Amino acid sequence: MELMLQQLINAVSLGSIYALVALGVAIVFSILRLANFAHGELMTVAGYTLYATLLAGVHWLLAAVAAIAASVIAALLLERVAYRRLRSANPLTLLITSFAVSVALQSLFLLFFGARPKGIELPAFVDAGFRIGQLRVQWLDVFIIVITGLIVLSLHLFLKKTVIGLALRSAADDFRTTRLMGIKANAVVVGAFMLSGALAGIAALFYFATVPNVVPSSGFEPMLKGFIACVIGGLGSLPAAVVGGFLLAFLEVGSDAILSNSLSPYLDAIVFGIAIILLRWRPGGLFGVRMTEDLRV
Amino acid sequence: MAMSQKWWPRALIGSAQILVLVSLIVAGVSLLGSSTDQRILTVFLINLIAAIGLQIYTGTSGIISFGHVGFMALGAYGSALFTADPAIKAMGIPNAPDFILTSAMGFLPAMLIGVGVAAIVAAVIGRVFVRLGGSAAAVATLGFMVMVFTVLSNAEEWTRGAKAFSGIPAYTTMGWCMGAFAVILVIARLLRESDTGLGLRSSRDDAIAAQASGVDVVNSRYVMWVASAACSAVAGALYAHYIGAILPKAFHFELTFLIVTMVIVGGQSITGAIVGTLLITILAEALRRLENGFSLGSFSLSEAPGLTTAVLALLIVFTLTMRPQGLVGRWELDDLTMRWLAKRRPAASGAALPFEKDRERNPAA
C-alpha cells in the first residue's frame, strides 16, 4: 500500500514536469504550427543559469527567478533571430530549422561550458521530507505538484479571462482571421514564446532539482518526453498536452514498478514502444482531431 | 500519346545521368586527391546512400523521418555481428547466442541480414508511422531512434552495450560504395517514377484530391517506408565496415541531424538529396580545415569541438531562409536537362514541356 502511494506520488511529480514541458511545446505549436525542438535547449539555458548563480552564492529564490528569466529571454531571442523570417515557410522547413537551432545551441553550450557535467548546488530543503506513517514524502515533490497545479490553473484563467488570452486562443484557431480582427501578429507570437520560455524555465527548475547536474545535451531527454506527451495527447491542444504528460509519467513509473530489474534499463524503449502502439489506434493522439476543432485552448 | 509514355526509361535515364556525374567526382578525387580526400569521399558516398534512403520516403510522401538513423544502426550491427572474427566475439560478447558467435560470413550475406532485420522492423512498426504526418511523425520517429539507441546501449550480451564493438572487418571499398550507390539510386528512381511514387507525390500536394483520384496514400507510404529503411540499413552496414568499430552513440542525434539536413537542404528529389549531401560534406570539410587554420579571440578553434556543428547548423538555417524549398526544389537532374534541351530546340520536339509530364500521365490530377 505504502509502495503504491509512493509510486503514485512519483508518477504525479514526474508527470507535472512532463506536463509543463509539453505545455510549453504545445503553446508555440498551436499558434505557429512550429515544433520547437529547441525547447529543450531553453531548459538547458535555465540549467546553466541555475548552476552559475548558485555557484556565485546567490540566494536560491533569486537564482530560480534568474533561471526563468534566462529561458524567457532565450525564447524571445530564438523567435526574433531564427523563426520570425520563416513564419510563412512550409512546416517541414520550420521543423528542420528548429532542429538546426537545437543542434547549434547544444554546440554553443559545448563550446562555452565543455562536455563535463556541471553539478548544481541545490539548497538543502530539496532533500527534506516528512513522514505519514511508513510513507516518506519529499517536500520537493509536494512543491512540484502544487506549483504545477497552480500554473495550469492560472494559465487556464489567463487564456479564458483576459483579452491577450483570447487573442492567443483565436490565433491558435485561425491566425489570419485573428489578424483581421486587429490583433498584431507579432504580439501574439511573442506572447506565445514568452509563455513557452517561462514554462520551460519552471520545468527546468523542477527537472534539475531531481537531476542536479547539467550537460550541453541535458535538454534533449525532457524535450523528447514533452513532445511524445504532446503527440500521445494530440499535438496542438493544451489540455491534451497536460493529459499526455501525466499519462507518459504513469506509463513510465508503472512500467518501472512492474518490470523485472533486468528489463529496467530498457524503460525508455518500452515506454516509447507503448506510446507508438497507442498511436497505431489513435494517430491523432488520444483526443485526436475532435479536440483540435472545438476544445483547443 | 500521353499514356504511351513509359515511366521506367525516365528513371533509368535520370539515374544514368546522376551516376555519370558522381563517377566523375569519384574518379577526379581518386586520381588527384590525397588519402584524406579519399576518406572523405568514402564517407560522402555512405552519407549519400543514407540520404537517398531517407529521400525515398521523405521525397515522395513529404513526411520527415528522424528514425532512419535507427535503421542504419540495425544494418550496421546486423552486418558487423555476423562478419566479425569469432575469436574477437568470444572475448567481446561471450554470452551472445551461438549462431552469432560462430558465424564468419562474407560481406554481402551479412549486409543482407542487416538489411533484412531493418526491413522487418520497419514493416512491423511502419503501419503506425505511415499514418502520422508533419510534426507528429517527426516526434514519433525521433522516439523510435531513441528506442533503437536504448536497446543497443543496453543489450550488452549482443552489442557490448555503450562500449564500442570493434574488430569489424574493413570490407568497405570504393567499389562496394559505388556499387551500392548505383543499385540504390536506380531503386530510388524507379520507386519515385512508378505509379505508387507518382501517386504519393501527388498526395504531398493535396492528400484529399489524391485519395479522391484513387491513390492509396497509406499503403503507398508503407511501401516507400520499408524500402527506404532497407536502403538506410545498407548505408549503416557500409559505415560499420568502413570505420571498423561502432557504438550506439554514433547513431544518435548528430548523425540524424546530418542526414536529415542533407535531404532537406537539397530539395525534394533524389537529385536534391545528392546536391544536399555534396554541399554539406564540402561545408563540413571546409569548416574542419578552417578550424585547424586559425584561432578566434581566446578560443583555440582546434579545441572547440562544438564550433563546426554550430556554424554548420547556422548555415543551414540561413540556406533554408533563402530557399525554403531546398536547393533544387522538386526537380530531378533529367527534368532540368530535358528542359534545357527543349528550350534550345523548341521547334524540333513539338511535345509538351517535360515539366508537364506528371499532368500528361495522369490527366485527372
What CATH number did the domain enclosing A113 receive? 1.10.3470
Residue ranges per domain, chain B? 8-361
| Interface touch B134/A103, C-beta < 8 Å | no
Q: How many domains are there within chain A? A: 1
Chain A segment 229-268 residues within 8 A of B by beta carbon are: 230-231, 235, 265-266, 268
d(CA B73, CA B56): 18
A196 within 8 A of A34, measured Cβ to Cβ: no
Q: For A239-293, write each residue's pLDDT tens digit.
A: 999 999 999 999 999 998 888 788 888 988 999 998 888 888 888 888 864 433 3
| Interface touch A269/B146, C-beta < 8 Å | yes
Nearest CB to B143 within list A107, A265, A275: A275
For A174, other C-beta atoms within 10 Å of its C-beta total 11
d(CA A149, CA A43): 20
A50 within 8 A of A208, measured Cβ to Cβ: yes
In which domain, by residue range, is A56 found? 2-294
Give every CB contact of residue A13 below 8 A, 6+ residues apart in sequence: A140, A141, A144, A145
| Interface touch B324/A224, C-beta < 8 Å | no
B261-294: burial string, b at 16+ Cβ within 10 Å, e else: bbbbbbbbbbbbbbbbbbbbbebbbebbeebeee
| Interface touch A35/B135, C-beta < 8 Å | yes
ipTM metric: 0.86
Please state which of the four CATH numbers 3.40.50, 1.10.3470, 2.60.40, 1.20.58 is assigned to the domain occupying B8-361: 1.10.3470
Three-state DSSP at B164 gives: coil
Nearest-Cα distance to chain A for B118, in Å, is 16
DSSP character at residue B352: P
| Tens digit of pLDDT at every position of chain B (365 positions) | 344 468 888 889 999 999 999 999 999 998 988 888 889 999 999 999 999 999 999 999 989 999 999 999 999 999 999 999 888 888 888 888 888 888 888 999 999 999 999 999 999 999 989 988 888 889 899 999 999 999 999 988 888 988 899 889 999 999 999 999 999 999 999 999 999 999 999 998 888 889 899 999 999 999 999 999 999 999 999 999 999 999 999 999 889 989 998 998 888 899 999 999 999 998 888 887 776 655 554 444 445 567 777 888 887 877 777 887 888 888 888 888 888 888 887 655 445 555 544 444 444 43
